[in-house]
A and B are shown apart, each in its own frame.
Chain A
Amino acid sequence: MISAPDVVAFTREEELEDELYSEPPLPEEYSVPLFPFASHGANPWAKVAGSKFTRDFILISEFSEQVGPQPLLTIPDDAKVSGTFDLNYFSLRIMSVDYQASFVGHPPGSAYPKLNFVEDSKVVLGDSKEGAFAYVHHLTLYDLEARGFVRPFCMAYISADEHKIMQQFQELSTEFSKASECLKTGNRKAFAHELEKKLKDLDYTRTVLHNETEIQKKANDKGYYTTQAIEKANELASVEKSIIEHQDLLKQIRSYPYRKVKEPDFHPYEPERALDRADAGCDPGPTASELAEPDSTHLYAHVPSYTPKLIKAKSAKCFDKKLKTLEELCDVYFFTQTLEQLHQIERTFRGDVCYLLTEQISRALLKQQSVTNFLFEDLSFLDEKPPEKQHGGCQELGRDAVDGKGSEELGAPKVVISLGSYKSSVESVPIKMEQELEDAGEPQMPESLPFEPQENLDYLDADLKGSISSGESIEVLGTEKSASGLPKSESQASLPVSPSPQAGRSKVGSRRTVSEDSIEVLSTCPSEALIPEDLKASYPSAINEEPHAADADAEGGLRFALKPDPADADRPEDVSQPEGLAQVDSACCIGKESPNFFEPLPELGQKPCDEDGVVRIPPQPYRQLGAFPSHDGVAGGLLPYELDSRYLSGSRELSKSSLDEGSDSASYISSAASTCSDGTPSPARRCQAGEKHKKKAGQNALRFIRQYPFAHPAIYSLLSGRTLVVLGEEEAAVKKLVTALSIFVPNCGAAAKPVKHWLAAPPHLLDFQKWKLIGLQRTASPGGVNVLHALSRYSRYVSILDADSKTLRCPLYKGTLVARLADHRTQIKRGSTYSMHVQSVLTQLCSKAFLFTFCHHLHLPISEREPAEAVVSRRMNFLKLQLGLANEDVKIVQYLAELLKLRYLQEPAQGGNPLLRFDYVPSFLYKI
């Protein structure tokens, strides 16, 4: 039985696979890569297996000249965070390579020591054995007592999730640069202070020595100098030299060009100065003086009280003295600022990378929808960047695309640091598995995922096999400036990898080298001292080159079905074709933007451009209808009605879907533009509070929907602009309901949402005009009667939700939209998830309102003789048939459209006078 030949252990993988794949395989877009550690019993959301720490943290380490690399502090400062993770070991790793090819000390040519203002370097390191991946930001601080006056430090963001590091590289870099700038500024102040003290000491010493010499001279009447006198004279001379040196150093540190100080928030002491400096550019003259003055007056008021000490000729031995701590190296204020910034970074980047990405993308997209985003989004959470820039960027983009040279220009000067494109430039894959991956050859395969089960094991094996010391398991995955031509100090001894296709593809950006000890430096760059251009200008180009190159050939990093093949990439050349434009837009922008967008937009390219034109309205006033093809001669330059009819003649489903996609694609375009203009969709720190609020509101809303069967008409009231009054005795309960419902309130264009959480006085017409959601106190006192009286008087303007008796008095709702928005049988459990669901439905609604508002012939007659009734019927047809709105849903869109119009037409002077629109419709009483 046991030896029966037909019972064989099933071992061969291929056979199994054959069996499995005999069925038709899933379409590519549905296939999900298997979780690599599934076999180990881990779930994908637990900490990534292999890591020894529970969550991301920031580590600050120093390469001490006395003891070597050592960890200084972690953020959050909690022993539990790092767990069993060996900080010392990791410090050694991240500090083991000095990327800063800085030279400090006596340069051969010059007489005095020279300070180099060293650029920070930014590296991504991976230690797959430890399961730790880190963004490492190297910086140097000045210390008078240190060797060569510099102390190398680094700040590292350590995460178990490699993708987070890779995909958030840009953001991390921006944020850490801020922190580093802050720290270095404080350090410069402290250093200058130190120098001043030292100078005073030296001065004092000189005086003392001088006096002594004089005394000796006088005492000496023998006519020749004693050895003692000669010694003193030498000493004096060396002190004099030292003074000159130190003065020079002081001058240097003060003349540090404040090129990068553009964040005034780090310099609240002198915000204008910071700006001035930014304007003045690199002119060191005024800067030096400017710098010196505030320093001495402001920060170092205690300086005059300093009593100089005598300096001994020979200072103590290097190893005897205690080096300054990081706190001592930096001005206190700036040190705390830095720590604050680092805490901020930690808060911003904690959590799952998908979430971060979604957040960033949606924020970037929302920012672009400047016509509609005010309705439901909290504008204060979007960046307060002036919108003009965006318009400019967008127009530029459009122009470029048509010019045909767009494909070159598109990214080159601009910062297209689209979330995904970076990845393709920096290969995060350990070299050893390169070949295998290449063999797999699937462009859709996320190559950057090293966690293919099989391969990963191999990879680990290889690590173990190939190395005796663990040092080789460090992969330098990428650094910030991948300048091409310069040889690296570390890689000089290394052999270039045999040019894999990948390497060939990444033409300039990454130079892949493997060093002897198998530290893989995929790309790095030396940091030249005092590069005139800012960091900002330099690294995007490095990152950008790759996507360009990749544009032409098939890029592996992009995972969408409709990807631009080489032919497509050539498309921009034919300028005249409007289709070309559409293609370019979609192709380029998606190409740039969307490795993270899994949904392809297949119809987009194939649809007639006109249709695209209709739906593809970039949402800014300036380019509002720019995408409408202009038929000359027609007033207004467009025939939207024609387009509409063609566009709308399709089946309802189609039109619906194309609508949605249209809006999506529009946002792709604009988001590309946004990244053009600002480069860094900065992780919003302001979002923290909003995030919390959203979550809470979502949770409450979910509860409301489950609890109240009449949630739909209540939400309809809010969406259609009818004020909803939540009446109740208990303030907390009412406020809770108000918070819950506030996510459905469209904003009228004011800064804050028109929500009043708690009102004790009888409401007035002005209140209904100002607020669309009011929590109202019910009291038993005579005042309460007035409240009820006012409510019944103004009952035509309000819906009343009685929180105490659980009744609702409001107009009937028979539409379908709210049902989708607030399904009481929803499976959504979490508040934040629900608020995202709401956001997506409302965004869809906004796009409908936008389309409705800006379709010319829905509101105005085509010809002069056309009767008004025809326009009205056309309008209603559009709403009902094309937008698929049923019954009362029409009113919602109409109300939103009114808000859009008002917002668009709003004169700045006449902002504070909102309209109250209402309907004469009967109300009904709903009970539980």
Chain B
Amino acid sequence: KSSVQTIGEEQIQNPYTELLVLKGHQDIVRFLVQIDDYRFASAGDDGIIFLWNAQTGEKLFELHGHTQKITAIAPFSSSDASEENKHLILTASADRTVIVWDCTNGRQVQKVSCFHSTVKCLTVLQRLDVWLSGGSDLCVWNRKLDLLCKTSHLTDAGISALVELPKNCVAAAVGKELIIFRLVASNSGSEGWNVLEERRLVDHQDNILSLVSVNDLTFVTGSHVGELIVWDALDWTKQASEYNFWDSSVHPDVQPEIKLSQSPNETSVQHLTSDEECVFAAVGKGIYVYNLQMKRVIACQRTAHDSSVLHIEKLPNRQLMSCSEDGSVRIWELREKQQLPAEPVSTGFFNMWGFGRANKQTNQAAKKMQDNTPMYFLELVGDLIGHSSAVQMFLYFGELGLATCSADHLIILWKDGERESRLRSLTLFQKLAENGDLQLKF
């Protein structure tokens, strides 16, 4: 029996009432990346990259070039006015190549195949107009795909995540370690860069799975055993950390008998995202909201999904979206709870099963709560069920809709039915006007 909160069939706040299934991939689709306002690329284990129109669902291009699965993808748009705002994307594959594609014509611009290992992450440093590839070593490339410099061999496992830090620094997650590299201009030429290792941070007990930069001053890492560490981005010191926040046993208000046995899989920090105030962590099946100011978890949904949460994203208007291996996407709203100081912790059975509306799963926050700080909770406002297998990732396009990709080889475009209907009417009358049917014709 699942303790996952369900919302039922009536979802007033869920705007997605129309969907479009995009077929094309032949294997798991793992990556979605936005190219511009209306285009996005998808890539996955079949090694094919598709470019889609997010409005119409039209397949724009089908990019063939990789022979094995895609391991990383990054957009690389040039801000130069001289280059007519070219949209490029970089893709890395298990065939140990990186290809640069031109999104305007769907052609392969260049291919690099001098890697010794699979490139697992790609980062573009827009400011320096270079891009970094992380595998067993870290390489720095310029736009023309010249190798500017590279580090020595780091580990066999390779870099799993890269994030840009201020002052030409990058943080690379290599196993349990976090390595800070700095790019320094080489003495020899103006275009040359050297990469120096600045610091190795070994505070994590297990592999670092997620790495996200919050702002210019902070970045956050999460590990497989559920450690969340907040770092200072300038001096790379640990500002705060949270180790056992997934563990309900530390919160005495939760009955011990419903405590699930925590396997590492259920505590790993799969994905992190943040806004200015908070870091949102996908931990196991749950979602946690960590407030940077208060340095504590302010709200959580312990079992937000039936299975591991793979990706979360902060939406505007205090909404949060998560997707999971259970094949669903859920929309949450971070709400301020009405202060009910007199109310004791337990509201009974329904509370723990997540049926209660007003105050659920936030009791641990309540315990820590100071007198005048608001209480928050995550309310489920909608779920999207369409995929038959794990939803790997999603891409939020604002009012254009939402794209989700899944292990069932499909991409689904979720759209606001009302808006689409309105747009269709608009186009209808435009077409009528174009055809001249609005005029009297005799």
Across the interface, which residues of A come within 8 angstroms of B426, CB to CB? 859-860
Q: Which of A121-129, A550-558, A880-888, A898-906 contacts B (4 or more CB under 8 A)?
A: A898-906
Complex Cα–Cα for A10 and B156 (A): 120
Indicate if A769 sits at the interface (CB-CB under 8 A). Answer: yes
A626 to B440, Cβ gap below 8 A?
Answer: yes
Using a CB-CB cutoff of 8 Å, which residues 193-231 of chain B contact chain A?
A: none
Indicate if B235 sits at the interface (CB-CB under 8 A). Answer: no
Indicate if B370 sits at the interface (CB-CB under 8 A). Answer: no
Closest to A636 in B: B438
B432 to A624, Cβ gap below 8 A?
Answer: yes
B439 to A626, Cβ gap below 8 A?
Answer: yes
Complex Cα–Cα for A905 and B438 (A): 16
B424 to A901, Cβ gap below 8 A?
Answer: yes
Complex Cα–Cα for A635 and B349 (A): 62
* Count of chain B residues with a beta carbon within 8 Å of a chain A beta carbon: 42
Q: Which of A166-174, A357-365, A641-649, A916-924 contacts B (4 or more CB under 8 A)?
A: A916-924
Indicate if A549 sits at the interface (CB-CB under 8 A). Answer: no
Contact with B along A386-398 (1 / 0, CB 8 A): 0000000001001
Indicate if A795 sits at the interface (CB-CB under 8 A). Answer: yes
A876 to chain B, nearest CB (A): 12
A920 to B431, Cβ gap below 8 A?
Answer: no
Across the interface, which residues of B come within 8 angstroms of A918, CB to CB? 17-19, 417
Complex Cα–Cα for A918 and B21 (A): 14
Complex Cα–Cα for A766 and B21 (A): 7
B56 to A910, Cβ gap below 8 A?
Answer: yes
Complex Cα–Cα for A624 and B436 (A): 9
B385 to A637, Cβ gap below 8 A?
Answer: no
Complex Cα–Cα for A622 and B386 (A): 39
Closest to A398 in B: B442
Contacting A624 at CB < 8 Å: which of B385, B387, B437?
Answer: B437
Across the interface, which residues of A come within 8 angstroms of B8, CB to CB? 922
Indicate if A765 sits at the interface (CB-CB under 8 A). Answer: yes
B58 to A910, Cβ gap below 8 A?
Answer: yes
Complex Cα–Cα for A638 and B439 (A): 8
B19 to A637, Cβ gap below 8 A?
Answer: no
Indicate if A200 sits at the interface (CB-CB under 8 A). Answer: no
Indicate if A628 sits at the interface (CB-CB under 8 A). Answer: yes
Complex Cα–Cα for A103 and B10 (A): 84
A14 to chain B, nearest CB (A): 55
Across the interface, which residues of B come within 8 angstroms of A300, CB to CB? none
A626 to B437, Cβ gap below 8 A?
Answer: yes
With contacts A795-B9, A859-B426, A910-B56 known, is A625 near B18, CB below 8 A?
no
Indicate if B340 sits at the interface (CB-CB under 8 A). Answer: no
Contacting A628 at CB < 8 Å: which of B410, B435, B440?
Answer: B440
Complex Cα–Cα for A854 and B435 (A): 14
B354 to chain A, nearest CB (A): 19
Contact with A along B1-26 (1 / 0, CB 8 A): 00000001111101001111101000
B9 to A921, Cβ gap below 8 A?
Answer: yes
Indicate if A796 sits at the interface (CB-CB under 8 A). Answer: yes
Across the interface, which residues of B come within 8 angstroms of A638, CB to CB? 438
A908 to chain B, nearest CB (A): 13
With contacts A621-B435, A917-B18 known, is A859 near B429, CB below 8 A?
yes
B422 to A859, Cβ gap below 8 A?
Answer: yes
B433 to A636, Cβ gap below 8 A?
Answer: yes
Complex Cα–Cα for A913 and B56 (A): 10
Across the interface, which residues of A come within 8 angstroms of B432, CB to CB? 621, 624-625, 854
With contacts A624-B437, A637-B439, A917-B417 known, is A904 near B428, CB below 8 A?
yes
B9 to A923, Cβ gap below 8 A?
Answer: yes
Indicate if B421 sits at the interface (CB-CB under 8 A). Answer: yes
- For the A-B complex, the count of residue pairs with Cβ-Cβ distances under 8 Å equals 120
B438 to A901, Cβ gap below 8 A?
Answer: no
Indicate if B255 sits at the interface (CB-CB under 8 A). Answer: no
Indicate if B104 sits at the interface (CB-CB under 8 A). Answer: no
Complex Cα–Cα for A293 and B27 (A): 58
Using a CB-CB cutoff of 8 Å, which residues 399-442 of chain B contact chain A?
A: 410, 412, 417, 420-422, 424-429, 431-433, 435, 437-442
Complex Cα–Cα for A622 and B56 (A): 25
B12 to A905, Cβ gap below 8 A?
Answer: no
Contacting A905 at CB < 8 Å: which of B412, B427, B439?
Answer: B427
Indicate if A435 sits at the interface (CB-CB under 8 A). Answer: no
Contacting B18 at CB < 8 Å: which of A796, A859, A905, A915?
Answer: A915
Indicate if B57 sits at the interface (CB-CB under 8 A). Answer: yes
Indicate if B346 sits at the interface (CB-CB under 8 A). Answer: no
With contacts A636-B429, A904-B431, A913-B20 known, is A920 near B388, CB below 8 A?
no
Across the interface, which residues of A come within 8 angstroms of B9, CB to CB? 795-796, 920-923
* Count of chain A residues with a beta carbon within 8 Å of a chain B beta carbon: 48
B401 to chain A, nearest CB (A): 12
Using a CB-CB cutoff of 8 Å, which residues 786-815 of chain A contact chain B?
A: 790, 793-796
Contacting B388 at CB < 8 Å: which of A622, A630, A765, A905?
Answer: A765
Contact with A along B327-350 (1 / 0, CB 8 A): 000000000000000000000000
Closest to B57 in A: A913
A776 to chain B, nearest CB (A): 16
With contacts A860-B429, A904-B431, A922-B10 known, is A630 near B439, CB below 8 A?
yes
A612 to chain B, nearest CB (A): 13
Closest to A769 in B: B21
Across the interface, which residues of B come within 8 angstroms of A398, CB to CB? 441-442
With contacts A624-B432, A905-B431 known, is A860 near B425, CB below 8 A?
yes
Across the interface, which residues of A come within 8 angstroms of B17, CB to CB? 917-920
Across the interface, which residues of A come within 8 angstroms of B417, CB to CB? 917-918
Across the interface, which residues of B come within 8 angstroms of A829, CB to CB? none
A577 to chain B, nearest CB (A): 13
Complex Cα–Cα for A793 and B9 (A): 11
B406 to chain A, nearest CB (A): 10
Indicate if A629 sits at the interface (CB-CB under 8 A). Answer: yes
Contacting B440 at CB < 8 Å: which of A637, A795, A904?
Answer: A637
Across the interface, which residues of B come within 8 angstroms of A923, CB to CB? 9
Contact with B along A856-877 (1 / 0, CB 8 A): 1001100000000000000000
Across the interface, which residues of A come within 8 angstroms of B18, CB to CB? 915-918
Contacting B442 at CB < 8 Å: which of A402, A625, A894, A904?
Answer: A402
A808 to chain B, nearest CB (A): 15
A626 to B441, Cβ gap below 8 A?
Answer: yes
Indicate if A853 sits at the interface (CB-CB under 8 A). Answer: yes
Closest to B11 in A: A920
Contact with A along B154-166 (1 / 0, CB 8 A): 0000000000000
Complex Cα–Cα for A916 and B384 (A): 13
With contacts A765-B388, A793-B385, A915-B19 known, is A623 near B441, CB below 8 A?
yes
B396 to chain A, nearest CB (A): 19
Across the interface, which residues of B come within 8 angstroms of A324, CB to CB? none
B429 to A856, Cβ gap below 8 A?
Answer: yes
B12 to A920, Cβ gap below 8 A?
Answer: yes
Indicate if A399 sits at the interface (CB-CB under 8 A). Answer: yes
Indicate if A764 sits at the interface (CB-CB under 8 A). Answer: yes
B437 to A623, Cβ gap below 8 A?
Answer: yes
Complex Cα–Cα for A624 and B433 (A): 10
Complex Cα–Cα for A537 and B364 (A): 91
B20 to A625, Cβ gap below 8 A?
Answer: no
Complex Cα–Cα for A917 and B417 (A): 7
Across the interface, which residues of A come within 8 angstroms of B422, CB to CB? 859
* 13 additional A-B residue pairs with CB within 8 Å, beyond A898-B421, A905-B427, A920-B9: A621-B437, A622-B437, A625-B432, A637-B438, A769-B19, A856-B429, A859-B425, A859-B429, A860-B426, A901-B424, A902-B424, A918-B417, A921-B10
* 23 A–B contacts from the bound complex (CB under 8 Å): A399-B442, A621-B435, A623-B437, A624-B437, A624-B438, A625-B432, A625-B438, A630-B439, A638-B438, A765-B412, A854-B428, A856-B429, A859-B425, A859-B428, A894-B421, A901-B428, A904-B431, A913-B21, A916-B18, A917-B417, A920-B11, A921-B9, A922-B10
B residues neighboring A (CB under 8 Å): 8-12, 14, 17-21, 23, 56-58, 382, 385-388, 410, 412, 417, 420-422, 424-429, 431-433, 435, 437-442
Shortest beta-carbon contacts, A-B, top 4: A859-B425, A920-B11, A624-B437, A901-B424
